A and B are shown apart, each in its own frame.
Chain A
Amino acid sequence: MGNQMIKKANAFEILNHWLLAGSFLILTLSGFGFLFHLQQVVAIFGSANTMKIWHNYAGIVFSISLFLTIFNYLPVSLKFGSDDMGWIMKAGGYFAKKAAIPPQDVINAGQKLYYLFILFAGIAIAASGFFIWLRPQVDDIRKWILLSHLVHNIAFDLFMIAVPLHIYLGTLANPGTFRIMVYGTVPLEWAKKRHAKWVQKMGY
């Protein structure tokens, strides 16, 4: 009984998360290359022109992948109840040993907020990026480009803060979590402690 595994993520969700993460890494690396004229980074891509092509097309992959996440995470993220508030009030138990956390859905309140943030910032960075790339025919194009440039960079800064924390929380901070991104399964006992509501709904 103690070793029973349950499925938390299907193949589509796993693959899509890797697509999002992979394109994000390419975009971030080339983004830093552009932002600070990092010759070593340009050398990885070959030239600034090639780096731009990678940046633009990784942006397409990122955008499609971001859109697909909606089916996995948006409905549950929008359900924000008193148990979620309880999670927030205790900061998810990350700053206290043995904190009693209210039962959570398939993703906890922190993950819900993180997802909503990623969706919002992702739409902002993608829309502004496509605007700069495609330069649609609009009046006062220079003003719109400057606005897009601003939005693109604000969103980038927010990503730079949020994503490392996300990676930490999904790996080192929570042993046993990263396997979801590989196998999609977790031990039932593990899930009962962290996602009680979901486990219950699944009928365990």
Chain B
Amino acid sequence: MARKALLISPELCIGCRGCQTACKAWNQLPATKTANKGSAENPPDLTPNLYNKIRYVEMPSETNTVRWLFVSQRCMHCDDAGCIKICPAPGALFKTKEGATAFNKDNCIGCKLCVAACPFNVPRYDEKEKISKCNLCSDRIADGLAPACAKTCPTGAIRYGDRDEIIGKTQKAGYQKLYGQMDLGGLGVLYAFKDSPKIYGMDEHPQIPETVVFWHKVLKPLAYLGLGGAVAASLLHYIAIGPKKDEEVK
């Protein structure tokens, strides 16, 4: 199956936050009471009950003194996902055939290692200490439907489709390279930025923490190699040199 993706176009977003509401409706997530902190950005951060949110960035430019950027923020559904890499629980985090990074709370052991390994600081934990994050509405997309956020977006700021098709279309529309096109094996959420990603509050070069990569590539195989090597060396010594017999010890 072709890999699916979301295309986020911040310039089309009017900040209505219908995506946040639709997400909660579909995923049966309760509302959270928040306090007004002087920004229309609400809630201020992702929570176990908030899988996606609109980040409000006030970024005046020389030509536009009132420039507001609305950036949809959520799990990026990395192809090479740090959370899946570090997760010690079989079947807690996994890729669906559409390319979504989905989770199964029953298998989650609540260790929170994924929180540290995520390049985007996305995973949250619910009150039962189980992972909670955007799963690209994997139940909807498995049935050929668009995720709730994309379905409800009135302006086309969040669009859903085949990843390759999205990249092809945006290239024709003049976008040389989308944010997330190449990073981490290619993200499942692509951004059509008109300016530097930094201005939109995004990491220019997101990557899995180096320690996690080192652990995965070196330390993990070394656990087997070390054990096997030590056992093999012992056997070899036993055969080649042999045990210390009492009469031989001086």
**Does chain A have a CB within 8 A of B109?**
yes
A98 with B219: in contact, given A39-B90, A161-B229 (CB under 8 Å)? no
A35 with B88: in contact, given A173-B234, A173-B238 (CB under 8 Å)? yes
Chain B proximity mask over A160-204: 1 for CB below 8 Å, otherwise 0: 111111001000111110000000000001100110000000000
A94 with B244: in contact, given A142-B121, A145-B113, A162-B230 (CB under 8 Å)? yes
Decide if A49 touches B220 in the complex (CB within 8 Å): no
Q: Binding site of B, secondary structure by majority: helix, strand, loop or mixed?
A: helix
Please pick, from B92, B112, B230, the residue contacting A165 in the complex, using a CB distance under 8 A. Answer: B230
**Does chain B have a CB within 8 A of A139?**
no
Chain B proximity mask over A36-59: 1 for CB below 8 Å, otherwise 0: 110100100000110110000000
**Does chain B have a CB within 8 A of A130?**
no
Q: Binding site of A, secondary structure by majority: helix, strand, loop or mixed?
A: helix
How many positions in chain A have a CB within 8 Å of any CB in the partner chain?
Answer: 50
Please pick, from B209, B230, B243, the residue contacting A161 in the complex, using a CB distance under 8 A. Answer: B230
Please pick, from B110, B211, B227, B249, the residue contacting A194 in the complex, using a CB distance under 8 A. Answer: B249
Decide if B223 touches A149 in the complex (CB within 8 Å): no
Q: How far is the CA of A175 from the CA of B248 in the complex (A)?
A: 12
A174 with B112: in contact, given A35-B220, A153-B219 (CB under 8 Å)? no
Chain B contacts to A: CB under 8 angstroms: 86, 88-90, 92, 107, 109-113, 115-117, 121, 209, 211-212, 214-215, 219-220, 222-223, 226-227, 229-231, 233-234, 237-238, 241, 243-246, 248-250
